[in-house]
Amino acid sequence: MPGVSALVLRDVQLGPAPSWWPPAPGWWLLALALLVLLAGLALWQLLVWRRRRQWQQHFDAALAQAGCPLQRVRRASELLRRAALAQQPAAASLAGEAWQRWLAQGVRKVDARALQLLAEGGYRRQLDQQQADLACALARQRFIAVMVGR
């Protein structure tokens, strides 16, 4: 074979490396799924925030109608009883320590005096403003936790 030695052989030529852009269809689907998930979480947070704000306004408006500190505690206790019944109908029979345990559930900082005031429900003859504020703050926190968590 003449000329075989005259042929110049070259190594295999590779094409250019694949580009990272545009991504494969699977990456687009993953990005879309993540966006939908994030949008859903944001929407859920917005709805929870709005619901929490509505219940806060409802609680605050109900207490604003009460005149003296004793009436405020009575009203807060009444709202808590209604919230308890909405959450679980068996809560109607809660009294004493069982009621105080229910009141303390899910509350960050529990003050024993405020628990006792709410458990008594305002059956005292007099109550000073500071005691009423403690009890109403605890009641507000528990009321909102129950109503938003329903």
**Per-run averaged pLDDT (10 residues), the chain, 150 residues:** 72 89 95 98 97 96 91 93 91 88 83 86 81 92 89
Question: pLDDT value at position 123?
Answer: 79
How many CB atoms are closer than 10 A to CB 78?
15
Tell me the C-alpha distance between 77 and 120, whole Å. 8
- Return the amino acid letter for 25: P
How many CB atoms are closer than 10 A to CB 60?
11
Question: pLDDT value at position 107?
Answer: 78
- pTM beyond 0.85: no
Question: pLDDT value at position 120?
Answer: 82
Tell me the C-alpha distance between 2 and 135, whole Å. 108
